[in-house]
Structure 1
Amino acid sequence: MANLYKYGFAELHVAFATEDGYETPISLPNGLSLTLDPEGSSQAVYGDDSKIAEINTNNGYTGSVNADVFPDDFLCEAQGWYKDSKGKYVEVADGKPRHFAMAYRIQGDEKNRRTWCYDCMLDRPSKTANGVQDNVEPDTDTLNLTVVPKYFPDIDKKVVSSWCYEGDQEYADFYKTVVLPAAETPTTPTE
């Protein structure tokens, strides 16, 4: 049975891109939320005084990911910053951000869904801090995120993301390595 509703956001993982694939995924604890807004356009095509087609472009997503605190080592790796010989983290003005794949889980009423987004980059994080008043309200970290299509030559397609559900073939080992898209399943014509 298919999910009737979904909720929750957990199991955030990233795997930094290399020249020939991805590094081993790492877990980023305490993810709170993810927002991804579609990037692209839709254009109507007209002929004979009526709409005859719709052309759509999928340029991925822009959005944000929120957590209690993102680890400093992850931010340094993602932004091209470093930890110096005296143990300080150093924000480099001309740091070279790294591309990475991002995985996460969304819960459903019937089956949980795990997703990989294949080409992600982060903007520099905003920094906020609030004084303590009558109630302690923890501050959280929000990172602006861009997800763009990535070309996979073995299937000759640009892919933004892929996902599977609990019980599917790749679900159990989903975070051990980046689960790459495979070729389409051939369809059998109906008679």
Structure 2
Amino acid sequence: MLQTTYEMETTDSAGTVTYATPVAIPGAVSISLEAQGGITPFTPFYADGIKYYNADTNAGYEGDLEMALITDVFREDIGLGETLDTNSVMIENADVNGSEFALGFQIDGDEKGTRFWFYNCNATRPSTESSTTEDTKEPTTDTITVSCAASTDGTVRAKTTDAVTDAIYDAWFDAVYIAA
């Protein structure tokens, strides 16, 4: 099971990030987020005949979230460039900027499914695809690319462990987890 949820991110004038109540994303098929960054191209740096300095960078994560169908609410909330007009028609507008959000999900496979929150995310617009119906019907899916960067305090993601309390685990998707 891949359970996903998101919540819009707001930052006040002091730079404090807050979140409202998370919204479930139905129909998640798969997610693949790859670490960005790594060893910087100018390292290692050698001095005194030894490796004197070596550095790596954490540029967050980027990858794809595949869903059965991206909901209209998600399209509007996340700012995929789409809004509803007064006739309830979804209009894509190149001047609408995306919004930052937190992305939460659970991956099953362990005794207790691992749960995540990725912070400071934004997403790309999905492609539009369709094909004719043949002898069998195959469902089509929507895929967006999600980019997750460090928050102002350096936080990139939160992940449950085997030692997390039941209270924290059970309430994981009730609110975006903020480090204690």
Please indicate the TM-score interval, normalised by the length of the shorter structure: 0.7 to 0.9
Task: Point out where structure 1 has 5 or more consecutive residues left out of the alignment.
Answer: 1-8, 153-157, 183-191
Please give the TM-score of this superposition, normalised by the length of structure 2.
0.87
Identical pairs, percent: 28
Amino acid in structure 1 at the alignment position of 2:35: P
User: 1:109 & 1:35 partners in 2: Cα distance?
Assistant: 18
Q: Deviations over 1:28-61 (max 9, x none)?
A: 0111111112211303232333324431100101
Distance 1:166 1:15, change over 3 A: farther
SS in 1 for 2:76: helix
Q: Which residue of 1 aligns with 2:158?
A: 162
Establish whether residue 10 from structure 1 lines up as the match of residue 2 from structure 2. yes
Q: Post-superposition shift, 1:89?
A: 0.9
Distance 1:180 1:56, change over 3 A: same
Establish whether residue 40 from structure 1 lines up as the match of residue 37 from structure 2. yes
User: 2:111 & 2:46 partners in 1: Cα distance?
Assistant: 42
Identify the structure with the greater strand proportion.
1
User: 1:166 & 1:50 partners in 2: Cα distance?
Assistant: 40
Q: Which residue of 2 aligns with 1:155?
A: none
Q: Which residue of 2 aligns with 1:75?
A: 75
For residues 79-90 of structure 1, what are the structure 2 equivalents within 5 Å? 79=79, 80-90=81-91
Q: Deviations over 1:91-132 (max 9, x none)?
A: 111102110000000123333110000110001111111111
User: 1:45 & 1:72 partners in 2: Cα distance?
Assistant: 50
User: 2:124 & 2:152 partners in 1: Cα distance?
Assistant: 22
Distance 1:40 1:167, change over 3 A: closer
Please give the TM-score of this superposition, normalised by the length of structure 1.
0.82
Q: Which residue of 1 aligns with 2:172?
A: 174
User: 2:82 & 2:20 partners in 1: Cα distance?
Assistant: 18
The number of aligned residues is: 169
User: 2:83 & 2:140 partners in 1: Cα distance?
Assistant: 24
Q: Which moved more, 1:64-73 or 1:80-89?
A: 80-89
Q: Which residue of 1 aligns with 2:122?
A: 121
Establish whether residue 138 from structure 1 lines up as the match of residue 139 from structure 2. yes
Distance 1:108 1:46, change over 3 A: farther
User: 1:24 & 1:166 partners in 2: Cα distance?
Assistant: 25
Task: Point out where structure 2 has 5 or more consecutive residues left out of the alignment.
Answer: 13-17
Q: Post-superposition shift, 1:76?
A: 1.7
Q: Which residue of 1 aligns with 2:15?
A: none
